[in-house]
Amino acid sequence: MIANLLIGLREGLEAALVVGILVAYLVKLQRRDVLPRLWLGVGGAVAVSLGLGALLTFGAYGLSFEAQELIGGSLSIVATALVTWMIFWMLRTARTLGSTLRHDVDSNLGGAGWGLVLVAFLAVGREGIETALFLWAAVQATGETTLPLLGASIGIIIAVALGWLIYRGVVRINLGKFFAWTGFFLIIVAAGVLAYGVHDLQEAGVLPGLHSLAFDVSGAIPPGSWYGTLLKGTINFSPATTWLQAIVWLAYTIPVIALFIRVIRRQHPKPTVSATAEAPALTSQGA
Amino acid sequence: MSQRPIVRTFTLATAAALASLALSGCVPNTGADAGATTVDVKSSATECLVSTASAPSGSVVFAVTNTGDEETEFYLLGEDGKRVVGEVEHIGPGTSRDLAVTVPAGQYFTVCKPGMSGDGVGRTAFTVTK
């Protein structure tokens, strides 16, 4: 049961953390009105994943190995691009929030609000189909044993609980630091997702170098251990990383973090917006 | 409002990619295709028992059951023992999952990877006949 629990935890964790940060972000901006849309994205991704997973498990047709890897790989790369866009968009919004042009923030969020919904949809849906296939396999096994389903469900519930804790934690951070901290965290998450996508494409044979490992620390960090699970589930750390994965990870992380630091430095170091953000003017808007 | 085109492009590109993959990537499940050969695989901590060592070319479905107590993976490798022809991951203890592949005649290897690390266990030659 523990192994199934760890799979559920690993598959659900990253999505739960990203959604937790998105919710905290909207609450920080006093934009709770966008939350229903966000939950629509999350719910939609869960429904699509479970539906497709059931169709592929119980229906006449399954998904070929290549298609599965290609979907996983390309969705990961799309998700990385979207999360990167979101990190910088969040920073820009944070900056305009401090100025008098609050009306612009309002109208901007109208369009980009849907962008956030798409981020939530992809964060959940990216691994959603794979997780659904795993869940339905556990359901199929219930004729003989219910332990796999029980374990998987508990794992996913723990992941959701951790996402909620992250939300509770970051929502308390002062607004200026909030974007810096969540931004750094999301960049590392996005880099991991990108490297994961590269590995999927390597397995599918689309990209070369599946067997050229940069490092293999599986002995010290077994993928099946609880800490291996947490590292994989949060930042997509793979104990056996290929050279191509490592290079892509660095080629993404270094320039993006450098750019991120530059953008933060250009802003006023001490934004005093946390008080003004409470102004009722922000809460009225038309999507 | 300037964000909308970006969002729309992403949505369209993703939807188009998924639709084309869904159309091209479908393979028959166990029992759904009379022409497919089903091969049972039992993956334990130390073994990777494959019910038969050969199958005719075409659709082959490996029904992999995890009899161990760690998460496992099953691979069908090419003649060089490295190229991944097919793989199924996330097989929790006590569950079964299918790997459906369409394979031409040739020499292959089957291997399980309980614990998801290392070279795997029970590497066995598998022949696909004409």
Domain boundaries, chain B: 28-129
Listed residue (B74, B98, B93, B97) closest to A149, CA to CA: B93
Q: Which residues pair with A97 in a beta bridge?
A: none
pLDDT for the residue A67: 83
Q: What angle do CA A104, A110, A116 make, to 5 degrees?
A: 115
Within a domain: A282: no
Which residues in chain B are closer than 8 Å to A82, comparing Cβ atoms? Answer: 10
pLDDT level of residue A9 (50, 70, 90 thresholds): very high
Question: Is residue A88 pLDDT above 80, yes or no?
Answer: yes
State the best of B95, B103, B113 to mutate against chain A, taking most chain A CBs within 10 Å. Answer: B95
Question: Is residue B130 pLDDT above 80, yes or no?
Answer: yes
Q: Could you report the per-residue pLDDT of A96-128, keeping only the tens digit for each?
A: 665 544 455 455 566 667 888 888 999 898 888
What residue has token string 């203890």?
B93
Question: Is residue A276 pLDDT above 50, yes or no?
Answer: no
pLDDT for the residue A279: 44
Q: Which has more pLDDT, B51 or B6? A: B51
User: Cβ–Cβ of B25/A68 closer than 8 Å?
Assistant: yes
pLDDT for the residue B15: 73
Which residues in chain A are closer than 8 Å to B26, comparing Cβ atoms? Answer: 61-64, 67
Whether this model's ipTM surpasses 0.85 comes out as no
- In CATH, the architecture of B28-129 is Sandwich (2.60)
What is the share, in percent, of chain B residues with pLDDT greater than 70? 82
> Taking a C-beta distance cutoff of 8 angstroms, is the pair A60, B28 a contact?
yes
Within a domain: A148: yes
For A76, the domain range is 2-273
Question: Is residue A62 pLDDT above 90, yes or no?
Answer: no
Within a domain: A287: no
Number of domain units in chain A = 1
Written as one letter, the residue type at A257 is: I
pLDDT for the residue A283: 42
Integer Cα distance of B85 and A104 in angstroms: 53
pLDDT for the residue A71: 84
Q: CA B130 → CA A24, B56, B124, distances in Å?
A: 59, 6, 20
Beta strand pairing status for B58-66 and A213-216?
A: unpaired
Report CA torsion sign: A127, A235, A36, A136: positive
Q: Which has more pLDDT, B18 or A100? A: B18
User: Cβ–Cβ of A112/B95 closer than 8 Å?
Assistant: no
Which residues in chain B are closer than 8 Å to A1, comparing Cβ atoms? Answer: 93
Integer Cα distance of A74 and A202 in angstroms: 12
Beta strand pairing status for B37-43 and B106-112?
A: unpaired
pLDDT level of residue A243 (50, 70, 90 thresholds): very high
Within a domain: A284: no
Beta strands in A2-99 (DSSP E): 61-63
pLDDT for the residue A275: 46
pLDDT level of residue B22 (50, 70, 90 thresholds): low
Highest mean pLDDT among A82-86, A97-101, A163-167, A203-207: A163-167
User: Cβ–Cβ of B94/A148 closer than 8 Å?
Assistant: yes
Question: Which B residues in the span 60-99 are in contact with A, Cβ-Cβ below 8 Å?
Answer: 69-71, 82-99
Question: What is the arithmetic mean of pLDDT over A226-253?
Answer: 96
Beta strands in chain B (DSSP E): 26-28, 37-43, 48-50, 54-56, 58-66, 72-77, 84-91, 96-103, 106-112, 121-129
Q: Could you report the per-residue pLDDT of A125-148, keeping only the tens digit for each?
A: 888 888 999 999 999 998 888 999
User: Cβ–Cβ of A71/B21 closer than 8 Å?
Assistant: yes
> Taking a C-beta distance cutoff of 8 angstroms, is the pair B1, A111 a contact?
yes
pLDDT level of residue B30 (50, 70, 90 thresholds): low
Integer Cα distance of A247 and A202 in angstroms: 14
pLDDT for the residue A107: 54
- Picking from A75, A85, A131, the nearest residue to B6 by CB comes out as A85
> Taking a C-beta distance cutoff of 8 angstroms, is the pair A13, A234 a contact?
yes
Question: What is the arithmetic mean of pLDDT over A178-206?
Answer: 93
Question: What is the arithmetic mean of pLDDT over A263-283?
Answer: 56
Phi, then psi, of A238 in degrees rounded to 5: -110, 120
Which residues in chain B are closer than 8 Å to A122, comparing Cβ atoms? Answer: 14
Question: Is residue B82 pLDDT above 70, yes or no?
Answer: yes
User: Cβ–Cβ of A70/B2 closer than 8 Å?
Assistant: no
Integer Cα distance of A180 and A225 in angstroms: 31
Beta strands in B9-71 (DSSP E): 26-28, 37-43, 48-50, 54-56, 58-66
Contacts with B16 (C-beta within 8 Å, 6 or more apart), sequence order = none
Which run of H or of E encompasses B103? strand B96-103
Within a domain: A143: yes
Beta strand pairing status for A61-63 and B84-91?
A: unpaired
Integer Cα distance of B78 and B80 in angstroms: 5
Integer Cα distance of A19 and A42 in angstroms: 8
Within a domain: A281: no
Question: What is the arithmetic mean of pLDDT over A217-243?
Answer: 94
Question: What is the arithmetic mean of pLDDT over A43-65?
Answer: 88
> Taking a C-beta distance cutoff of 8 angstroms, is the pair A179, A36 a contact?
no
Question: What is the arithmetic mean of pLDDT over B47-63?
Answer: 94
- Picking from B7, B32, B118, the nearest residue to A114 by CB comes out as B7
State the best of A4, A65, A93, A130 to mutate against chain B, taking most chain B CBs within 10 Å. Answer: A65
Within a domain: A118: yes
pLDDT level of residue A187 (50, 70, 90 thresholds): very high
Q: Is B56 helix (H, G, I), strand (E, B) or coil?
A: strand
Highest mean pLDDT among A8-17, A65-74, B14-23: A8-17
Count of CB atoms within 10 A of residue B16's CB? 10
pLDDT for the residue A90: 81
User: Cβ–Cβ of B3/A74 closer than 8 Å?
Assistant: no
pLDDT for the residue B7: 65
pLDDT for the residue A66: 81
Which residues in chain B are closer than 8 Å to A11, comparing Cβ atoms? Answer: 90
Residue B5 burial (CB < 10 Å; 0-12/13-18/19+)? exposed
User: Cβ–Cβ of A7/B71 closer than 8 Å?
Assistant: yes
What is the share, in percent, of chain A residues with pLDDT greater than 90? 57
Within a domain: A286: no
Question: What is the arithmetic mean of pLDDT over A239-256?
Answer: 97
Beta strands in chain A (DSSP E): 61-63, 213-216, 240-242
Contacts with B22 (C-beta within 8 Å, 6 or more apart), sequence order = A63, A67
Integer Cα distance of A131 and A56 in angstroms: 12
Give the nearest chain A residue to B76 (CA atoms): A65
pLDDT for the residue A240: 94
Question: Is residue A248 pLDDT above 70, yes or no?
Answer: yes
What is the share, in percent, of chain A residues with pLDDT greater than 70? 86
